[in-house]
Amino acid sequence: MNIPPPVRADNKYRDLLKEIHSREDIPEAWRDTPIESFVMSQNFGWPIAATGKVELLIATCIEFRYSLPIPKMYAYVIRRASGRVIGSEFSVGYTLSQGVRYLIIIGHNDCGMSKVYEKAPQVVQAFIDQGWEKEVAEEYVQKQAARHAIKDELEALREEYLRLRNVFRKLVIAPLFVCLHDSKLYIPKWLSEVQHEGELNGAVPSELIRNLP
């Protein structure tokens, strides 16, 4: 599989991402936190000093063209197709109980989950090869494809950011976008627009929790 072109040269993403040239480009709320250390490590090669006090959870895609630049004792990690956390809220809750206060969610360009329907026949065949009945495999893939498919990587990241912010209201959540070409992190431009959008006072609606997959 090919490495896609850099996002800064790709018309699909170029105007929607903010480059991080230095520490000053990192939003105020993320400064002096493990979010900042992670960004500085990924973009500028700063070493990460693991303190043994783990306050960071990172969620990203299963994508093999991206590897996290983190040492052990630094962060919890959830890797799921498209990087969305939906369905893994229990894992988030567990890390919170262990001291996590920051969550980084990382989207990326050229995500396979934006081509799920195109790839569905191959996925069905992969299950059949494992001994699944054709009909069962098709039914399963149809159901899961609807859950996993994304139309656009940056839009899916935005929706997941807003959803998570509503479900985990005390967590500092940083949505980032990684370029598969050189593993540099970018900040979605929509972040400044949605930062103060919507009031998140009061209890999280119970229906929201009960309807989680």
Residue 111 is a binding residue for Zn ion (CB under 5 A): yes
Q: Which stretch binds Zn ion (CB under 5 A): 108-116, 130-138, 162-170, 177-185?
A: 108-116
Contact 204, 134 (CB under 8 A): no
Residue with Cβ nearer Zn ion (37 or 42) = 42
Residue 61 is a binding residue for Zn ion (CB under 5 A): yes
In which region does residue 87 sit, left (phi positive, over 0), alpha (psi from -120 to 50) or beta (all else)? Answer: left
Interface with Zn ion (CB under 5 A), residue from 37, 58, 60, 63? 63
State the nearest-atom distance from the C-beta of 9 to Zn ion, in Å. 20
SS3 of 137, please?
A: helix
Strands (E), the chain: 17-19, 56-60, 75-79, 102-108, 172-178, 185-188
Q: Which stretch binds Zn ion (CB under 5 A): 5-13, 54-62, 86-94, 190-198?
A: 54-62
Q: How far apart are CA 76 and CA 118, in angstroms?
A: 32
Q: Which two tokens stand for residue 11?
A: 């018309």
Within 10 angstroms of residue 18's Cβ, the number of other Cβ atoms is 15
Q: Which stretch binds Zn ion (CB under 5 A): 8-16, 60-68, 156-164, 169-177?
A: 60-68
Residue with Cβ nearer Zn ion (53 or 115) = 115
Residues binding Zn ion: what is the number (CB under 5 A)? Answer: 3
Residue with Cβ nearer Zn ion (55 or 184) = 184
Provide the binding-site residues for Zn ion, judged by CB under 5 A: 61, 63, 111
